Structure formats: C-alpha cells, structure tokens
Amino acid sequence: MRTTWLGLLASMLVLGSYSTMNEAASAASLTQNTGMWMTVGEQRFAITLADNAATRALVASLPLTLDMSDLNRNEKYAILPQALPTQASKPGTIHSGDLMLYGPDTLVVFYANFVSTYAYTRLGCVEDTARLAQALGRRGVQVTLSQN
C-alpha cells in the first residue's frame, strides 16, 4: 500500500512539474509573440501580458495613444475607444505596475501598491517598475501602447 501511495505521489509531482513548465512556456510564448510596450515621454516599459480575451483584444487594437488622468495618486486611467471582453475578479492587493481593465472600457495602470475591493480584468504588468511612478507623475500624461 505504501508503494502505491509513493508511486501516486511521484506521478503527481511529475505531472505538476510538467504543468508548471507548460504554463511557463505558454506565458513566455505569449510575451514573445504578443509583447507590449508602454511609452511615457522618453521612457519605454515592457509589459508582460496576461493570457485572456481582453488582452488579445487590446493587443489587436495597437498601437494606441491615450491621454491618461490621475486618480487617488496611485493610478492612471483612460477610456478605451472600444469595449473589451471582461473577466473581472477582485485581486485584493494591487501592485505597482499592474495593468488592468475596469469595466469593459477603462484601462488602468497602477503605480503604487495598495489594497482594493474593486474588481478588474487583469491585462498584464509592467516588468520594471523602478521608474514607473516618476515617469507617470501626479498629473495627466500621454501614454502610447505598442506591440514589440
């Protein structure tokens, strides 16, 4: 009986490792094939994309230049020219660099960490957030999203 459980446990570990490697490969493939850049002034930020219908629809609409307004000194937002598919959930903690969709047509990029009770559809995240808050500033800003 003990051998059976050990064999089952080993099989689960192997399958779990395969699943994790497969997910990592899929995420890398998505980023390589449909990577996105956010340009703010002279600064360019790479964005790692989530794998969902909203992200695919956003990427299909690129390039896109948006005038983004500041809200609560932790986020920039802009209304998109067209609605995107939604799959909203409450993330709880928002992280600097999170790129989200609020409702079907409001793009939000966060530049501070905080706790939120609002629901968003995750689009991706800025890879290097060290310069993000400074680049976005505390006022309205023009942001260009482009593919590779």
- H/E segment holding residue 12: helix 2-34
- pLDDT tens figures, 113-137: 999 999 999 999 999 999 999 999 9
Asked if the model's pLDDT at residue 3 lies above 70, the reply is no
pLDDT at 71 over 60: yes
Dihedral through CA 53, CA 57, CA 62, CA 64, nearest 10?
A: -100
**d(Cα 111, Cα 20) in Å, to the nearest integer?**
29
The SS3 call for residue 79 is strand
* Rounded-to-integer distance, Cα 114 and Cα 7, Å: 44
Cβ pair 49, 59 in contact under 8 A: yes
Amino acid code (one letter) for 139: R
Half-sphere exposure of 23 (CA within 13 A, CB side): 7
Q: For the beta carbon of residue 12, count every other beta carbon within 10 angstroms.
A: 10
Structure-block tokens of residue 122? 């995750």
Position 35 confidence tier, pLDDT thresholds 50, 70, 90: confident
Q: What is the mean pLDDT of residues 15-26?
A: 39
Q: Does residue 96 surpass a pLDDT of 90?
A: yes
Look-up: residue for tokens 């559809």? Answer: 121
- Beta bridge pairs of residue 65: 144
pTM value is 0.77
